[in-house]
Amino acid sequence: MEMDFEAIIQNIREDGSDETARYWLEQIKEEYGSVPLIFQRMSEKPEVLISHLLYKGSVTQLSQLEPKVVELISMAVGAALKCSHCVEYHMRAAQSKGATREEILEAVLIAGLLANAAVLADAYRVVNGSCDASCDLSGVPGSQTKD
């Protein structure tokens, strides 16, 4: 779907939202082999699906990044958010755009690294800043505190 907004809007007006949503889902299935569940549910309210896909298209198709990189980033974010369906969908999309197994694994490693760092940073902030005496670990067996 090329991002000629005026033409897209005109087609939606001519075809209607139900037919447009149905057509776009067929295009997704043809390109990626399946339709993600989120798109299937959104299609129950075609205006929601259409607005989401227009937004997605404007972000991805107008991006300065190569399409393969966009899909690798999307896959990594899905992995960090623990969305296996997102990982699977964007992995297939990345592969269709030329991503190698090694690139996919590297993206997952980076996602894991950042997700792990986010968990640690959040927990350390709580321990260091928000805790009162209830977070004092000095009396906990096995804890090692430096004086």
Asked if 43 and 25 touch (Cβ cutoff 8 Å), the reply is: yes
Q: Please, which pLDDT band fits residue 103 given cuts at 50, 70 and 90? A: very high
User: Would the pLDDT of 90 be above 90?
Assistant: yes
Per domain, the residue ranges of the chain are 1-62, 65-126
- Report the CATH superfamily, name and number, of domain 65-126: AhpD-like (1.20.1290.10)
64 has a pLDDT exceeding 50: yes
Looking at residue 129, what is its pLDDT?
81
User: For 35-54, how does the pLDDT look when each residue is reduced to its tens digit (9 = 90+)?
Assistant: 999 999 999 999 999 999 99
Q: What is residue 62's predicted lDDT score, i.e. its pLDDT?
A: 87
If you average pLDDT over residues 84-102, what whole number do you get? 95
* Residues near 82 by beta carbon (within 8 Å), at least 6 away in sequence: none
